[in-house]
Amino acid sequence: MSDPKQGVYYITTPIYYVNDKPHIGHAYCTVLADVLARFHRLFGVETWFLTGVDEHGQKVQDAAAKRGMTPQQHCDDMQSHFRDLWPTLDVANDDFIRTTEPRHERVVQEALQRLWDKGEIYRGEYEGFYSPRVEKFFTEEELIDGKCPETGGDVYQIKEANYFFRMGKYQERLLQHIKDTPDFIRPESRRNEVIGFLQKPLQDLCISRPKSRLAWGIPLPFDTDFVTYVWFDALLNYCSAIGLYHDQERFDRLWPHVTHLIGKDILTTHSVYWTTMLMALELPLPRIIAHGWWLIDKTKMSKSLGNVVNPLSMKDKYGTDSLRYFLMREMVVGLDADFSETAFLKRHNYDLANDLGNLANRLVKFAERSMGGVVPEPGAGSGMPHDADLQAMALALPGRVRDLVGDLRVEQAVEATIALVRRVNRYVAETEPFKVIKTDPAAAAGAVWMALEALRFALNCLWPVMPAKCEALLVAIGAGKPEATLDALAWGGLKPGGAMVLESAPFPRFDVPEYEAAPEVAPAAVVAPAPVVVPVAVAAKPAPSDEPPARIAFPDFAKVDLRIGTVLVAEPVTGSDKLLRLQVDLGEAQPRQIVAGIGKAYAPADLVGRQIVVVANLEPRKVFGQLSNGMVLAASDDAGPAVLAPARPIPPGTKVS
């Protein structure tokens, strides 16, 4: 998706509405942008990270009126909730834009004037149904039971003069760009969604509102009785913040390398409205990444349902680093993910408290007791074959992380890093420096140095996700500051004699709520991550019997919907040595999340790209506190489970009959 060697990386979040306070969805998007920005800086790429707030429009005007404030007073108050939150989540944005700032307003008016002068905007009359919640017009045919098709809210029939942007003339050009540019919209399911949207005639876009109805907006430069439609105003922030029309050299350096990170609910406005606007303005098109939603019991978070998660409460309760880690590790970019406190605590306890925190604490305390509290001499390591394996895994990690992040597989980059941490834990168990110290102090010292050096690699690669904690742990193990770039991360960089001090366990364990099912017991030093779970259909070995199997009628068998699927992602499940989480393409709009008990028979990497047979209509259920949606078919004998698969490649979603 992004090329870490391109030299420039410009990442943006949506600008958030100031009609309410930030929730976990805002936090996820902004932390993801921050993590991507930090990774690209670690790759040696010039990086610029923009976020901000959208302060115009009907919703803002209405929210201000309810509070008895002017719109500007309301915006001044509400923007601080976003601006003040980001530093507490270790978000290091380079710029924060407000659409009421003069630098933005003058760019909007100049862009409007240019389009008016070119004849891309015209005056006309419009009659339709207006939804204040999404600030859009709909035709009667688009309404669902007389309500807004996007929110289910009330709409109002309006007939009025307005100004229109000739969006429809760019339909074929936009379709061709989507087909010619595979990474223009990610993930592919969202790309296909936009292609589907463009199969119907694209109407021209109403880009104004009369001041008599909506006064809170940027006036049209060619008719001050009207203000700009909020989306035409807001989307230009991505350009106004980096100097469009006013610092053209800077704009030209950054804009060709822009990536917009958005929620999937604003996909159409960004991939159709915005891109056709850019075409009309003769500007290059961006790359668009549409991430999924955080769900509670498979339901989108909503104020009306009372299930919105406040990121401040999670941060204050469990720490910024743990929250950032959970958000990055739990959600596959582009897919939905289920949020629960139980899932959060399992991830924290297994990955951070057990694996990373316990490892660092054991090594530092051992060095304090037996090695003078300093980094020991490397010597020849432990003198065992494990040394070469550990070093090879550590040296391969930076390149692996670079490739995964470049392909937007952030959760896999995090898992690859934690896998190295688990390998260090295993290395310590294999070399036993705590015992060897009594008979061969040099070998023990060499083993501890090897473990610390591999841990240094992991902490440098994990720094974009948990900058504060990784920096503290690097100091604690005597490594000092993180490396400026991954290219500077070379084996042997951990110098002997550095002080090692750790006042307390870096990640305290928390009790998991009793109302959730307890996880399977796993070894303390070798623990895997925890996402969504579904049981595997493993055929038990039949007990010897003379009785024939019970027969069923064909209509009963016909109820089972078996489909061919292709495994897109495979990874371990926290707390279990046999469960693997799979993302399976079944030819649907989004991959299915299925977790199968085949981890002892298959390495995750061996399953990616393989085809399997899935029970597609199995009732979803929760396992390990996670919602499961499907079942993998497998047979089992003394050698373990073997997944069923077609003899030749079959299109995903093909029915088995």
Q: pLDDT tens for residues 124-171?
A: 987 888 887 777 778 888 889 889 988 888 988 888 899 999 999 999
With contact defined as beta carbons under 8 Å apart, do 614 and 632 qualify? yes
Report the C-alpha gap between 59 and 71 in whole angstroms. Answer: 10
Helix (H) or strand (E) holding 420: helix 410-431
Beta bridge partners of 124: 162
Token pair of 3 as six digits: 């090329």
Token pair of 638 as six digits: 């003394």
Cβ atoms < 10 Å from Cβ of 298: 11
State the pLDDT at residue 101.
Answer: 97
Beta bridge partners of 462: none
Whether 340-488 and 8-291 are alike in CATH topology: the answer is no
Report the C-alpha gap between 532 and 504 in whole angstroms. Answer: 32
Report the C-alpha gap between 600 and 645 in whole angstroms. Answer: 18
Cβ atoms < 10 Å from Cβ of 329: 25
In 43-187, which residue ranges form alpha helices assigned H by DSSP?
58-66, 71-88, 102-117, 171-180
Residues 6+ away with beta carbon under 8 Å from 348: 318, 322, 325, 326, 507, 510
Token pair of 403 as six digits: 């490739």
Report the C-alpha gap between 35 and 15 in whole angstroms. Answer: 18
CATH superfamily of 536-656: Nucleic acid-binding proteins (2.40.50.140)
Report the C-alpha gap between 565 and 561 in whole angstroms. Answer: 12
State the pLDDT at residue 628.
Answer: 77
State the pLDDT at residue 576.
Answer: 73
Residue 96 half-sphere exposure toward CB, CA atoms < 13 A = 17
CA-CA-CA-CA torsion sign (318, 319, 325, 331): positive
Intervals of the chain under pLDDT 70: 1-6, 297-308, 311, 380-384, 514-550, 553-556, 558, 575, 577, 589-590, 605-606, 608-609, 622-627, 637-640, 647-651
With contact defined as beta carbons under 8 Å apart, do 120 and 280 qualify? yes
Query: Burial, 594: exposed, middle or buried (Cβ in 10 Å; 0-12, 13-18, 19+)?
Result: buried
* One-character DSSP codes across 325-345: HHHHHHPPTTS-EE--HHHHH
Give residue limits of the domains in the chain: 8-291, 340-488, 536-656
Token pair of 42 as six digits: 């670690």
Q: Which fold has domain 8-291?
A: Rossmann fold (3.40.50)
Task: Write down the residue that tokens 């990640």 correspond to.
Answer: 507
Q: Indicate the DSSP class of residue 481.
A: S
Report the C-alpha gap between 268 and 190 in whole angstroms. Answer: 10
Task: Write down the residue that tokens 């949506």 correspond to.
Answer: 14
b/e string for 108-136 if b means 16 or more Cβ within 10 A? bbbbbebbbeeebbeeeebebbbbbbbbb
**Residue 582 corresponds to which amino acid?**
L
**Residue 48 corresponds to which amino acid?**
W
State the pLDDT at residue 141.
Answer: 82
Phi/psi of residue 214, each to 5°?
-140, 110
Report the C-alpha gap between 229 and 307 in whole angstroms. Answer: 31
In angstroms, the Cα distances linking 66 to 58, 63, 155, 388 are: 12, 5, 20, 66
Helix (H) or strand (E) holding 290: strand 287-291
Report the C-alpha gap between 437 and 363 in whole angstroms. Answer: 13
Closest residue by Cα to residue 596 from 640, 644, 548, 533? 533
In angstroms, the Cα distances linking 589 to 128, 592, 609, 628 are: 30, 9, 18, 17
State the pLDDT at residue 522.
Answer: 31
b/e string for 208-242 if b means 16 or more Cβ within 10 A? bbebeebebbbbbbebeebbbbbbbbbbbbbbbbb
Architecture of domain 340-488: Orthogonal Bundle (1.10)
Pairing mode, strands 185-186 and 287-291? parallel
Report the C-alpha gap between 203 and 169 in whole angstroms. Answer: 9
